[in-house]
Structure 1
Amino acid sequence: MSAGGTIVVVGAGQAGFQAAASLREAGFDGSLTIVGDEPVAPYQRPPLSKAYLAGKATAGTLALRPASFYADHRIALRLGTRAAALDRAGRQVALASGERLAYDHLILATGARNRPLPVPGADLAGVLQLRTLADADSIQARLAGVETVVVVGAGFIGLEFAAVAAARAIAVTVVEAAGSVMSRAVSQATSAFFRQAHEAAGIRFVLGASAERIAGADGRVTAVETTDGRSLPADLVLVGIGVVPNADLAAEAGLAVADGILVDHTLLTSDPAVSAIGDCAVFPSPFAGRAPTRIESVQNAVDQARCVAARLTGRAAPYAALPWFWSDQGRLKLQIAGLARPHDRAVTRGDPATGAFSVFCYRHGHLVGVESVNRPADHMIARRLIAERLPLAPEQAADPAFDLRALVRAAAAA
């Protein structure tokens, strides 16, 4: 579209904010509005389960930009109100407040919501989830008087929270239906290392079992009962069993959806006047053999926002950014480059006993992902190796004497 016109962004998370900011950076001079259902301006979510709960960050430090940024860049904010419906024929967004916003192009950055725990007692006081700043504030207010915590789900959020709680001398038990921690995200070697490290910090794991019922007294949680017959005392329960993409708005408007909002290689939906980005978007990833892929990460949100902003200002290109992720769990920093699941071979570089190592994951002989623990240099090199598809044999990756930097330098000079 031209430098003018009207763009509405539905979603005030990382993707929605970045789309608006990148549009202005790219020279878009038309009307630009962000709609968000939370009452606060866009902020960083990753620190909520880590630095924010640990008291090392404040709401002010989480803000993606100061309030003046939006005024200076003529970005209108409609906060604390929900986008209730899309009128695609009339190119309007109907807000729950009754307001209707016209658009020439619509960007859906609706994100995802926490998957609810479908068991009796899940609505008791003290059974909490962590997704928003309000969620984090609610947890923070309750942690002071808590002695025992049960975390349901051993994914990134669950383990990050467990590490924060254990550091406060709270007794923590993590319940996970799978037989290992972070089973859908990392290799067996990385999973085993993190379990052992958390156990050394005093965290207890109940694996291969699910929460079957939440017990309570006087309306408050007292225990989590599991499918293997245990009753785990709990003053607080944190549920972290994954998310559901917010695709309802798109589906009700007749857009194509399947575990998210379906988009093409340029992040356009089935309507050429509507794009979708971030946690809600399902796209053909070149790092997954062009298979439909939905990625929940800050990197993906930011890079997809930039891709759409470039297209809308005349510089269309396929979305081909390398996925990468991170998770801070106590003193351990996990960084992941690429999409390593599934893989058929994994080799380790470095010694896990030292607390710093990387796992190089291969599929059909090709490097597809690298998991680095407390080795940021490996992570940065891995991003180059995978993005540029540089050949690296498993034996070379596992050999500490093999110079990965030299391999990247040689490729750049060729």
Structure 2
Amino acid sequence: MQPIVIIGSGMAGYTLAREFRKLDSEHELVMICADDAINYAKPTLSNALAGNKVPDQIALGDANKMATQLNMRIETDTWVKEIHSDQHELVLEKNGQHSTQGYSKLILAVGANPIRLAISGDGSDDIHVVNSLTDYRAFRDSLENCGKENCSDKRVVILGAGLIGCEFANDLQNTGHKATVIDLAPLPLGRLLPAHVATAFKENLEETGIQFVLGTTVERISKHEKQGYIVTLANGQSLLADVVLSAIGLQPNIALAKTAGIHTSRGVLTNALLETNQANIYAIGDCAEVNGTLLPYVMPIMQQARALAKTLAGQKTSVHYPAMPVAVKTPAAPLTVLPAPLDVEIEWETEEYDDGMLAKATDNQGTLRGFVLLGPTAGKQRLSLTKLVPDLIPASV
């Protein structure tokens, strides 16, 4: 029998392998990845500085350790060039050499890549993105080199005031850096928060020294002979930076799926069984758009992995999405968000506290569909409120 093949060694791929091994210790598993397949939790990258963790401490295990632990063959530095779904076969490339790999079931756990803005200037190639441990090592090296070069201010300019941008800003500001966040939107986390909560969140972060430059975007990044980089904005303002980090969002990797005739939209389209339109091909993680919903967060990945592991082990199981709040790692402004479904018309009701606020999103039937908890007092209501919100994808009967 052909092996089950997982493409991708991120949290989705490794979590699925771990869940499957709980149910089946023998069926051959193969993981194929374009990098070194080091296992780590990507969410830890945006608060590793304050946690005093260097990159080597973030890694949980290399490919050899994980292969032994999960009784799995891991092919590192290997690219999947083609999927031949009719033959249940992959075309691989490693070190310039091509080979084939058969599969009985194929799982796309190929994740998402950072969106990159087209920015001019001789410093644009030095913009960091952090979407992997390798990226993070390069980012940390730049921060440390800045210190060696006596950059007294350690100025970091962050492009993007979304969840990741704000988490990095909080982490940097709390560890002796000066963080400035730039975004075209008028407020941080504008897609997740109502304006009045976003305003309070921004003010809390500003109290720590984080600066926001909003309603504009970066046009040019130029190298400065003595002071790092000059960041020129569309509003005419210029900033000095020692390091520039882009955190403007992720785009699911769908190119491989598209070439194989697998249906895609924003992500790889699947049903509740995580099946694509091609037989025996599934998608999981940041690349998977399940029943029209794309949720690039940890809890959905866990739900997907548990369900798909059962399906691969012979027990067809639909993924269940209960209400899954997202905790934003900004200790200066503790925040938990449960976004309401985009296709539901909602109204916001707000309760204010001395240390924050609670905002509830209710539909026209008066049903709670989402919420935002800002501050320690509001945060205590997370569990009780979560129980009131209907499942996003109900459990199958």
TM-score with structure 1 length normalisation? Answer: 0.84
Q: Which residue of 2 aligns with 1:269?
A: 276
Question: How far does residue 54 in structure 1 lie from its aligned partner after superposition?
Answer: 3.0
Q: Which residue of 2 aligns with 1:368?
A: 369
Report the residue type matching 1:85 in the other structure. E
More deviation, 304-313/70-79: 70-79
Does the aligned pair in 2 maintain the 1:84–1:95 contact within 8 Å?
A: yes
Q: Which residue of 2 aligns with 1:379?
A: 382
Q: Classify 1:6/1:40 alpha carbon distance in 2 versus 1 (closer, same or farther; 3 Å).
A: closer
Structure 2 Cα separation of the partners of residues 282 and 27 of structure 1: 27
Q: Which residue of 2 aligns with 1:57?
A: 53
Report the residue type matching 2:81 in the other structure. A
Q: Which residue of 2 aligns with 1:315?
A: 315
Question: How far does residue 63 in structure 1 lie from its aligned partner after superposition?
Answer: 3.9
Question: How far does residue 188 in structure 1 lie from its aligned partner after superposition?
Answer: 2.2
2:253 counterpart of 1:246: yes
Structure 1 Cα separation of the partners of residues 143 and 56 of structure 2: 21
Q: Classify 1:182/1:264 alpha carbon distance in 2 versus 1 (closer, same or farther; 3 Å).
A: same
Question: How far does residue 68 in structure 1 lie from its aligned partner after superposition?
Answer: 4.2
How many positions carry a matched residue from both structures?
376
Q: Classify 1:68/1:238 alpha carbon distance in 2 versus 1 (closer, same or farther; 3 Å).
A: closer
Deviations 1:267-310 (A, max 9, x none): 100112100011101112xxxxxxx1111101111211211111
Question: How far does residue 158 in structure 1 lie from its aligned partner after superposition?
Answer: 0.9
Q: Which residue of 2 aligns with 1:302?
A: 302
Pairs within 5 Å for 1:96-115: 96-97=93-94, 98-115=98-115
2:329 counterpart of 1:328: yes
2:43 counterpart of 1:27: no
Deviations 1:229-271 (A, max 9, x none): 1111112111111111101110011111111111112110011
Question: How far does residue 69 in structure 1 lie from its aligned partner after superposition?
Answer: 5.0
Report the residue type matching 1:379 in the other structure. R
Does the aligned pair in 2 maintain the 1:125–1:221 contact within 8 Å?
A: no
Structure 1 Cα separation of the partners of residues 123 and 109 of structure 2: 28
Structure 2 Cα separation of the partners of residues 125 and 160 of structure 1: 23
The percent identity for this pair of structures is 26
More deviation, 13-22/123-132: 123-132
Deviations 1:354-376 (A, max 9, x none): 14x43221232321112223354
Structure 1 Cα separation of the partners of residues 79 and 383 of structure 2: 39
Return 5+ residue gaps in structure 1 as ranges.
285-291, 390-414
Q: Classify 1:21/1:340 alpha carbon distance in 2 versus 1 (closer, same or farther; 3 Å).
A: same
Q: Which residue of 2 aligns with 1:133?
A: 133
Question: How far does residue 209 in structure 1 lie from its aligned partner after superposition?
Answer: 0.7
Does the aligned pair in 1 maintain the 2:216–2:233 contact within 8 Å?
A: yes
Structure 2 Cα separation of the partners of residues 56 and 36 of structure 1: 29
CA RMSD of aligned residues (A): 2.4
Q: Which residue of 1 aligns with 2:163?
A: 156
Report the residue type matching 1:112 in the other structure. A
Q: What SS does structure 2 have at the residue aligned with 1:96?
A: strand
More deviation, 329-338/226-235: 329-338
Question: How far does residue 12 in structure 1 lie from its aligned partner after superposition?
Answer: 0.6
Question: How far does residue 59 in structure 1 lie from its aligned partner after superposition?
Answer: 3.9
More deviation, 180-189/256-265: 180-189
Structure 2 Cα separation of the partners of residues 126 and 219 of structure 1: 16
Deviations 1:328-363 (A, max 9, x none): 114333222353556532223451x414x4322123
Deviations 1:146-182 (A, max 9, x none): 4322111101111111112222333322111011101
Q: Which residue of 2 aligns with 1:172?
A: 179
2:10 counterpart of 1:8: no
Structure 2 Cα separation of the partners of residues 112 and 198 of structure 1: 28
Q: Classify 1:255/1:122 alpha carbon distance in 2 versus 1 (closer, same or farther; 3 Å).
A: farther
Does the aligned pair in 1 maintain the 2:119–2:220 contact within 8 Å?
A: yes
Q: Classify 1:258/1:349 alpha carbon distance in 2 versus 1 (closer, same or farther; 3 Å).
A: same
Question: How far does residue 56 in structure 1 lie from its aligned partner after superposition?
Answer: 2.3
Structure 2 Cα separation of the partners of residues 256 and 111 of structure 1: 16
Report the residue type matching 1:336 in the other structure. V
Return 5+ residue gaps in structure 2 as ranges.
393-397
Report the residue type matching 1:203 in the other structure. I
Runs of 4+ in 1 over 6 A off after TM superposition: none
Q: Which residue of 2 aligns with 1:213?
A: 220
Report the residue type matching 1:13 in the other structure. G
Question: How far does residue 26 in structure 1 lie from its aligned partner after superposition?
Answer: 1.9
Q: Classify 1:344/1:75 alpha carbon distance in 2 versus 1 (closer, same or farther; 3 Å).
A: same
Q: What SS does structure 2 have at the residue aligned with 1:294?
A: coil
Q: What SS does structure 2 have at the residue aligned with 1:332?
A: coil
Does the aligned pair in 2 maintain the 1:223–1:231 contact within 8 Å?
A: yes
Structure 2 Cα separation of the partners of residues 108 and 94 of structure 1: 15
Q: Which residue of 1 aligns with 2:395?
A: none
Question: How far does residue 82 in structure 1 lie from its aligned partner after superposition?
Answer: 2.3
